[in-house]
Chain A
Amino acid sequence: MLTLNNIEVIYNDVILVLKGMSLQVPEGKIVGLLGSNGAGKSTTLKAISGLLKPENGEVTDGSIEFLGEQIHNQDAAEIVRKGIFQVMEGRRVFEHLTVEENLIAGGYTRQGANLKGDLEMVYGYFPRLKDRQKQTAGYLSGGEQQMLAIGRALMARPRLMMLDEPSLGLAPLLVMEIFHIIKRINEERGTTILLVEQNANLTLGVADYAYIMENGRIVLEGYPDILRENADVREFYLGLTEVGQRKSYREVKHYKRRKRWLS
């Protein structure tokens, strides 16, 4: 459905952030994209959704193909209309608008559509939002704001939903709930999902396929069960030692594992 082919992204004409990044998202699947801070995960998403321009970034090489069409460096509004919706990192709800107004803004591109019915659909996934319909979004809790951010995306009825760290700053229980709903959205609505995360364990739990990113390119990819077995992933992303036990920080100093994919 979505194919990134060797893309290169440069910020401010000098800073090379993505260095030949390739990835594929097949229709109807959940694809995870893991990586530490600064690996270029968010930049990848912004490259796809056309949000690089306001940050002075540009796709300078490679191609982004969505449903057989080249979409790189297109206008963000155009890309949303084509069916790609990015839920930005850090929730970014419209703080001074009410919950319902936030949702209506999410459905902005759907001219003349049945917004009422869609609102009900969103409230079906997130009953808690229904209780807070008329409240100012800025005063919601972090979890509710994340729900609102995802609800806003649902309003646009995207074919591909890209979530940028939905677990950021949420309590573990809430993170579980959010992931559960993401899975449900994928299953019930057939929405394809590209999930960018730092929480490797949970991501590998819901994803059908996952990529690991470092320094602006993909270093490892595979099905979650295979990745889970990979010694490097276990060490650096799941925090397990080779014996399979939780890492003891007493030993860290003695032996530092080198990432094999670097050589």
Chain B
Amino acid sequence: MDLFIQLTLTGLTNGAILALAALGFVLIYKSSDVINFAQGEFLLIGAYVIYAMVVQFGLHWTLGMFLTMVVAVALGVVVERLVLRPMIGEPIISVIMVTIGLSSLLKAIVSAIWGNVPRAFPSFIPSEPVSILGATVGEDRLWSILIAILLLSIFTLFFRRSKEGIAMRAVADDQQAALSMGISVKKIFAWAWSIAAATAAIGGALVANIVGVSGELAGFGLRVFPVVILGGLDSIPGAIVGGIIIGLLESYTGGYIGQGLNQVLPFVVLIIILMLRPYGLFGQEIIERV
């Protein structure tokens, strides 16, 4: 029973982080149909920036977290302006290729600044062991879950209630119609990229807290695929549910069956989902009026 709770909490933490990374991915796909291969690198940058803030500059972690978010938003805007705006009107596949280039570029920048050697990162979020239902877990895991839930609910509300959020979904639905009502598509894209970068960066910061920083973190970008395929490429609730399912799945297989398999299983799920329900659990089926 202890093991089960332990694994569940680990799974939830990983799932929450995956959900954060997936959220940005979904957002970009939803508003612009672009599959962002650089999502993992956003996460990487988040991890290194918080490392710099907390370890190198010695800031308090909450402040560091906030500043990381600011940096990420700025990064999102810059990327949108310099890399994606010139690509407006080009075929989607070219834009996707550009994001692959962007991912190498970002990775290179990170290793230029911080080098290639993995760095131990003193767990910066308080990590006193806490016992829950008999299992002992680090407080930091609970914090991670809490932060992720908080951010995810803020964004869910943002998309349901705020005018900008509704405008973003409108752009995702029909760009030209959105343009005709004075919604600036460029501005919306900038929003999407900033939010994507910010959520990924926070995800990165949370991962860094648990496993330390290294170039490996960019691999998270790949782990986002099973999540978004499972949840539906264009569904925000899908990203959250998908993230948690995949997180739990990884953790249970890792704990009960054996390490190694847990890295393969998500991709097995990906293939099964693609065969059975290609638009995912919550993805939009195309509405056809008859």
- Given A54-B175, A88-B176, A138-B289 in contact, is the A101-B169 Cβ separation under 8 Å? yes
Nearest B residue to A149 via CB reads: B177
The residue from A76, A101, A106, A152 contacting B179, defined by CB atoms under 8 A apart = A76
Task: Please tell me if the beta carbons of A139 and B182 are within 8 angstroms of each other in the complex.
Answer: no
A57 to chain B: closest CB distance in Å? Answer: 12
Task: Please tell me if the beta carbons of B169 and A97 are within 8 angstroms of each other in the complex.
Answer: yes
Interface string of B132-176 (1 = CB under 8 A from A): 000000000000000000000000000000010011011011111
The residue from B169, B182, B289 contacting A76, defined by CB atoms under 8 A apart = B182
Task: Please tell me if the beta carbons of A108 and B176 are within 8 angstroms of each other in the complex.
Answer: no
Query: At the interface, yes or no: B178 with Cβ under 8 Å from chain A?
Result: yes
Task: Please tell me if the beta carbons of B180 and A94 are within 8 angstroms of each other in the complex.
Answer: no
Stretch at the interface among A2-10, A30-38, A77-85, A116-124: A77-85
Q: In the complex, A129 Cα to B176 Cα: how many Å?
A: 23
Interface string of B178-202 (1 = CB under 8 A from A): 1111111000000000000000000
B185 to chain A: closest CB distance in Å? Answer: 8
Task: Please tell me if the beta carbons of B169 and A95 are within 8 angstroms of each other in the complex.
Answer: no
Q: In the complex, A86 Cα to B176 Cα: how many Å?
A: 11
Nearest B residue to A90 via CB reads: B177
Q: In the complex, A109 Cα to B179 Cα: how many Å?
A: 11
Q: In the complex, A93 Cα to B170 Cα: how many Å?
A: 9
Instruction: Kindly list chain B residues whose C-beta atoms are within 8 Å of the C-beta of A105.
Output: 166-167, 170, 178, 181, 183
Query: At the interface, yes or no: A200 with Cβ under 8 Å from chain B?
Result: no
Instruction: Kindly list chain B residues whose C-beta atoms are within 8 Å of the C-beta of A107.
Output: 163
Q: In the complex, A139 Cα to B184 Cα: how many Å?
A: 26
Instruction: Kindly list chain A residues whose C-beta atoms are within 8 Å of the C-beta of B180.
Output: 49, 51, 76, 80, 85-86, 88, 92
Q: In the complex, A86 Cα to B174 Cα: how many Å?
A: 15
Task: Please tell me if the beta carbons of A94 and B174 are within 8 angstroms of each other in the complex.
Answer: yes
Query: At the interface, yes or no: A238 with Cβ under 8 Å from chain B?
Result: no
Query: At the interface, yes or no: B287 with Cβ under 8 Å from chain A?
Result: yes
Query: At the interface, yes or no: A247 with Cβ under 8 Å from chain B?
Result: no
Instruction: Kindly list chain A residues whose C-beta atoms are within 8 Å of the C-beta of B170.
Output: 94, 97, 101-102, 105, 108
B161 to chain A: closest CB distance in Å? Answer: 10
Q: In the complex, A136 Cα to B173 Cα: how many Å?
A: 12
Q: In the complex, A136 Cα to B183 Cα: how many Å?
A: 20
Nearest B residue to A111 via CB reads: B163
The residue from A51, A81, A85 contacting B176, defined by CB atoms under 8 A apart = A51
Instruction: Kindly list chain B residues whose C-beta atoms are within 8 Å of the C-beta of A156.
Output: 181-182
Task: Please tell me if the beta carbons of B181 and A108 are within 8 angstroms of each other in the complex.
Answer: yes
Task: Please tell me if the beta carbons of A80 and B182 are within 8 angstroms of each other in the complex.
Answer: yes
Interface hub of B178, B179, B184 (most chain A Cβ within 10 A): B179
- Given A76-B179, A94-B173, A95-B287 in contact, is the A101-B166 Cβ separation under 8 Å? yes
Instruction: Kindly list chain A residues whose C-beta atoms are within 8 Å of the C-beta of B287.
Output: 95-96, 136, 138-139
Query: At the interface, yes or no: B284 with Cβ under 8 Å from chain A?
Result: yes
Task: Please tell me if the beta carbons of B177 and A92 are within 8 angstroms of each other in the complex.
Answer: yes
Q: In the complex, A7 Cα to B289 Cα: how many Å?
A: 38
B233 to chain A: closest CB distance in Å? Answer: 13
Interface hub of B173, B181, B284 (most chain A Cβ within 10 A): B181
Q: In the complex, A92 Cα to B171 Cα: how many Å?
A: 12
Query: At the interface, yes or no: A16 with Cβ under 8 Å from chain B?
Result: no
In the complex, chain B residues 200-259 whose Cβ is within 8 Å of any chain A Cβ: none
Query: At the interface, yes or no: A104 with Cβ under 8 Å from chain B?
Result: yes
Instruction: Kindly list chain B residues whose C-beta atoms are within 8 Å of the C-beta of A81.
Output: 182
Q: In the complex, A105 Cα to B176 Cα: how many Å?
A: 13
Instruction: Kindly list chain B residues whose C-beta atoms are within 8 Å of the C-beta of A152.
Output: 181
- Given A94-B169, A94-B174, A139-B287 in contact, is the A54-B179 Cβ separation under 8 Å? yes
Q: In the complex, A96 Cα to B181 Cα: how many Å?
A: 17
Q: In the complex, A81 Cα to B178 Cα: how many Å?
A: 14
Nearest B residue to A86 via CB reads: B180
B231 to chain A: closest CB distance in Å? Answer: 16
Nearest B residue to A115 via CB reads: B163
Q: List 13 A-B contacts (CB under 8 A).
A: A51-B180, A54-B176, A76-B182, A77-B179, A77-B184, A80-B181, A80-B182, A94-B177, A105-B166, A106-B181, A107-B163, A109-B182, A156-B182
Seed contacts A85-B180, A94-B169; 15 additional CB < 8 Å A-B pairs: A56-B89, A77-B182, A77-B183, A79-B182, A80-B180, A85-B181, A94-B173, A94-B174, A94-B178, A105-B181, A107-B163, A108-B170, A108-B182, A136-B287, A152-B181
State the 3 A-B residue pairs at the shortest beta-carbon distance, nearest first.
A80-B182, A138-B287, A109-B182
User: Which A residues are within 8 Å of any B CB, using their own CB?
Assistant: 49, 51, 54, 56, 75-77, 79-81, 85-86, 88, 92-97, 101-102, 104-109, 136, 138-139, 142, 152-153, 156
